[in-house]
Amino acid sequence: MRLYICEKPSQARDIARVLQAHRRGDGCLQGTGVTVTWCVGHLLETAPPETYGEQFKRWSLEHLPIIPQQWQLVVKPKVATQLKAISRLLQACAEVVIATDADREGEMIAREILERCDYQGPVLRLWLSALDEASIRRALAALRPGEQTLPLYHCALARSRADWLVGINLSRLFTLLGRRAGFDGTLPVGRVQTPTLRLVVERDRAIASFVARPFWTVDVVLQDDGAEFEARWQPPAAQCDDTGRCVDQVAAEQAARRLATARSAQVERVDVERVTEGPPLPFDLGTLQEVCSAKLGLGAQETLSVAQALYETHKATTYPRSDCGYLPESMLDEVPRVLHALAAADPALGQRCKELDPTRRSRAWNGSKVTAHHGIIPTAVVIPLDQLSERERAVYILIRARYLAQFLPHHEYLKTQVQLRSQADQLLARGKQIQVRGWKAVIDETDACEPTEQTQRLPTLQEGGSVGMRDAKVNTQRTQPPKPYTEGTLVKAMKTIANQVADVRLKQTLKDSIGIGTEATRAAIIQGLIDHGYLTKKKRSLAASAAAHTLIEAVPREVADPVMTAVWEQALARIETGQLSVEAFLAKQSAWLTQVVRSQASLNLQLPRSQGPACPVCRSPMRQRKGRTGNFWSCVRYPDCKGTKPVKASAAPAKPKRT
């Protein structure tokens, strides 16, 4: 008997239907020579500290670090019955097919059960990218040897144990040090969550400490043969800051007066460039979360849940937890079927589908760049849109549009830049003229923030000619603070952490890695920070709570350093490729933890003894201090931050006092 082990009951039903395993058994579905069983996510979990010794029940600095010599797993009580059913099936089967999700965690869910039950028989791997019938049949015909995906298990095992080591030891360490300093509360530390939290804390502080500075622009209205267009005055370098903005109001006003009274300007130079843009790649999960946050206001976990439903429940899209937007050339044969299904499901696409060229090969079709999973695309299942919820429909349309874009022409436009002169004043006009709309017919990527002068259509101008001057006006503007993170932009920051690294060699190394966390875990990490009150969400914006600021102040910089975490993730990737052993990786983490515990245990954290108000400058907690005229609230980050509040006004926002 061949036993298929699936990750979820719904996944098992889909596979059993294709295998014609319709007979219901104890925790399984059975057919001729095949049995399909299922997990409910992880049936086992890493044992708690007290399993390794009764002394670890009590949180104590003298017992840190806790580093198991022999790792143990315990059965989750709610799923113990299902584990017993799988154990009985393993004793009776001739071979096992792992049919869990095709990723690290899916591999671990099955492998840890096989080890627990001491299964010694042959193992095959079903590698599924979609749950429609055609995809399941194709995957069943191409089962992989179990040895091929075993490194995924090793990678997941190392990640799980490293998370346990860091979470258990550092959470206990800094919570105990916090209590010693009088802080009433826990300070949970995570291998990924703490660096993620630091990103938001530092962004909040940058926003709070931002000082807006004024600058001035002069916009000029010009005319040529009855066609009006805009140009912008180019201030001399002596009147600009280091970004080229005019910071001399008098100079801007004088230029506006000169230009307003001038009759004409001469065209000195005309540069026209034809720009060709190919379509964006199909979505990976991180990019989908970013776009859904910006366009639909969905959180990262909401987007993942919707994408999972489209994949698992409706069979309408492929596997969602992908970190890759490329597609293998082997899927080109499916293009006509997928396009036909899309047209059949949505009659409104009928005319648009006639414009598609199924033989077009965009840059997305590149098997050499496909990782464990390809980009998220529609399947050949005909799914009427009215069968989807509002959110499912919106996300599906975004995924569908990225796929359709691969079969439309490139977007082409003329980018024009014109330099003009009016006596001593230099002017610059920019324009854009679309030549071929191409793939933008299905993906609207118009940037509403793009200046009008860069999107306008300029008249045909000749070098040496002149244009009429109609008007000139001064605009007073102010520099803007950094924008708060949204869930989408925070996911992007976690992925592209290399952009925040100055070291050239490390930057390149991180560009080749996956950043902080994985596509499968980032949403859960952010949602966990929200659920535990470390991040607050107002509309789409995220902000760090006072407790989050306290935590980031408490831990050493290396613990909250996203670069360090990205390097750890890269080490996990080396385990996946067989270049590093689990034991060697965990030995390094254990040595590092031992060093951190020894160096920190003798220190006294500078934390507030009571949770005061949030600092009006950087949002960190405040503590009471004694001054010449009485007590006052002072930021715990003093002297780096000098925000203060009077004690009597602590409940209400107050303008920060700076000394």
Domains assigned to the chain: 2-142 (3.40.50.140), 163-209+483-601 (1.10.460.10), 214-278+411-478 (2.70.20.10), 285-405 (1.10.290.10), 612-659 (no CATH)
At 369 the pLDDT is 87
Q: Give the tens place of pLDDT for each residue, 479-492.
A: 999 999 999 999 99
Q: Give the tens place of pLDDT for each residue, 358-410.
A: 999 999 999 888 877 899 999 999 999 999 999 999 999 999 999 999 999 99
Q: How many CB atoms lie within 10 A of CB 595?
A: 11
Q: In whole angstroms, what is the distance from residue 28 CA to residue 13 CA?
A: 9
Residue 279 clears pLDDT 50, i.e. is over it = yes
Q: How many CB atoms lie within 10 A of CB 174?
A: 26
| Tokens, residue 187 | 């300070």
Q: Give the tens place of pLDDT for each residue, 90-99.
A: 999 999 999 9
Q: Quick one: average pLDDT of 508-524?
A: 77
| Tokens, residue 271 | 């540069």
At 573 the pLDDT is 80
Mean pLDDT, the chain, as a whole number? 89
At 605 the pLDDT is 64
Could you tell me which residues are beta bridge partners of residue 623?
634
Among this protein's residues, is 403 annotated catalytic? no
Q: Quick one: average pLDDT of 132-138?
A: 89
Q: Which residue has the higher pLDDT, 643 or 46?
A: 46
Grade residue 450 by pLDDT with cuts at 50, 70 and 90.
Answer: low
Q: How does strand 2-6 pair with strand 34-38?
A: parallel
Residue 56 clears pLDDT 90, i.e. is over it = yes
For the chain, state the CA radius of gyration.
30
Which residues, 6+ apart, have CB-to-CB distance to 409 below 8 Å? Answer: 360, 436, 438, 439
Catalytic residue of the set 4, 311, 319, 534: 319
Q: Give the tens place of pLDDT for each residue, 14-40.
A: 999 999 999 999 999 999 999 999 999
Q: Give the tens place of pLDDT for each residue, 574-620.
A: 898 889 999 999 999 999 999 999 988 877 665 544 456 777 776 67
Q: Is 270 in contact with 462 (CB distance < 8 Å)?
A: yes
Q: Which residue has the higher pLDDT, 469 or 452?
A: 469
Q: Which residue has the higher pLDDT, 185 or 552?
A: 552
Q: Quick one: average pLDDT of 230-234?
A: 96
pTM: 0.82
Give Cα 583 distance to the centre of its chain: 30
Percentage of the chain exceeding pLDDT 90: 69
Q: In whole angstroms, what is the distance from residue 130 CA to residue 317 CA?
A: 7
Q: How far is CA 399 from CA 312, 375, 442, in A?
A: 15, 10, 11
At 317 the pLDDT is 96
Q: How many CB atoms lie within 10 A of CB 609?
A: 11
At 530 the pLDDT is 93
At 274 the pLDDT is 96
Cα pseudo-dihedral 517, 519, 524, 525, rounded to 10: 20
Could you give phi then psi for residue 458, rounded to 5 degrees?
-85, 150
Please tell me the total number of residues recorded for the chain in this structure.
659
| Tokens, residue 303 | 């987007």
At 497 the pLDDT is 80
Q: How far is CA 289 from CA 285, 384, 483, 559, in A?
A: 6, 24, 18, 27
